[in-house]
Amino acid sequence: MKSLVTGGAGFIGSHLTEALVARGESVSVLDNLATGYLENLDAVKNQIEFIQGDLADLETVQKAARAVDVIFHQAALPSVPRSIKNPRASHDANLTGTLNVLIAARDNQVKRVVMASSSSVYGNSPALPKVETFEPAPLSPYAVTKLAGEYYARVFAALYGVSTICLRYFNVFGPRQDPTSQYAGALAKFIACALRGEPYPVYGDGEQSRDFTYIENVVRANLLAARSEVDGAAAVNIAGGARTTLNQIIATLNELTAQNLPTQYGAPRAGDVLHSHADISRAGALLGYAPTVDVREGLRRTVEWYARNPEHKSSR
């Protein structure tokens, strides 16, 4: 089977690319390196085709999708705060890029598109856990682009027969996540602070909770989705299946690093969701998905990776 991974030099995409290569599959990566690093692909760079290009250019995407069986569409301009600051950039990268991927999948008769969506589509509804049947209520331009991408997938499935599965990721973390960006995820920043012995920065009181999901679980979900017999354009939660507060994460990191670093609390950020927890029963029923690495073990592995790789670009 031949696969195309968009955003394959990024955090999630590079892990997925490695997993596909390990299965003996032919893999192409399309990435403009806006937020990804070629260094992330060092382990497989001689076993893949790397295409540097932008998803906003339809011709580039069309060429990359030729003779491809599955497209793993991971590319996006991430971050809620980034999208609030520059909604146009998020729209162009996320929604125009997704539309071009679906057009290329249609024109090249790609068998399956596995698309990265986001738990942010649920917004700040107090109802927990989040079930796929909940009415979406996005609070940021980023969330809007992800939800609109799902709608495009439904339309392309209905009109053109493009088989798509949209995976709603819940707070993915793990090795290679860039903690240096001002838009980095909380866990990447916390781990960097733990290794430097610095206070943890928290927006709000730290009691906001997330369904943190270790990268290995997300990669497995993508591989299962590529082979699922589900038709149409199903949206499926992919998560660890448990709620953890930021204060609990900090306590675990202090324990893992044998420290007692303080926390610096600040004002909450606009657009942030207070609580997030996924119902993953649909993922189990449709894909056979179940998380295999819990939050504590994922944190332990991630801390060890950053400690071993201080010179990696995503660690600086």
Cβ count near 9 (within 10 Å): 26
DSSP 123-161: TT-S-SSB-TTSPP---SHHHHHHHHHHHHHHHHHHHH-
Phi-psi region of 200 (alpha: psi -120 to 50; beta: other; left: phi over 0): beta
- Whether 289 is catalytic is no
> Residues 240, 292: contact at Cβ < 8 Å?
no
> Which one of the listed residues 142, 200, 289, 306 is annotated catalytic?
142
User: Are 7 and 74 within 8 A, CB to CB?
Assistant: yes
305 phi-psi bin (left φ>0, alpha ψ -120 to 50, beta other): alpha
168-199 as b/e: b if 16+ CB within 10 A? bbbbbbbbbbbbeeeebbbbbbbbbbbbeeee
Strand partners, 173: 214
Cβ-Cβ contacts under 8 Å for 103 (sequence gap 6 or more): 58, 61, 62
Name the residue among 276, 125, 311, 308 with its Cα closest to residue 186. 276
Rg (CA), the chain: 18
Q: Whole-angstrom Cα distance, residue 22 to residue 124?
A: 39
- DSSP-derived secondary structure letter, 50: E
Q: Which helix (H) or strand (E) holds 244?
A: strand 244-245
- The CB density around residue 31, as the number of other CB atoms within 10 Å, is 28
Which residues are tagged catalytic?
Answer: 142
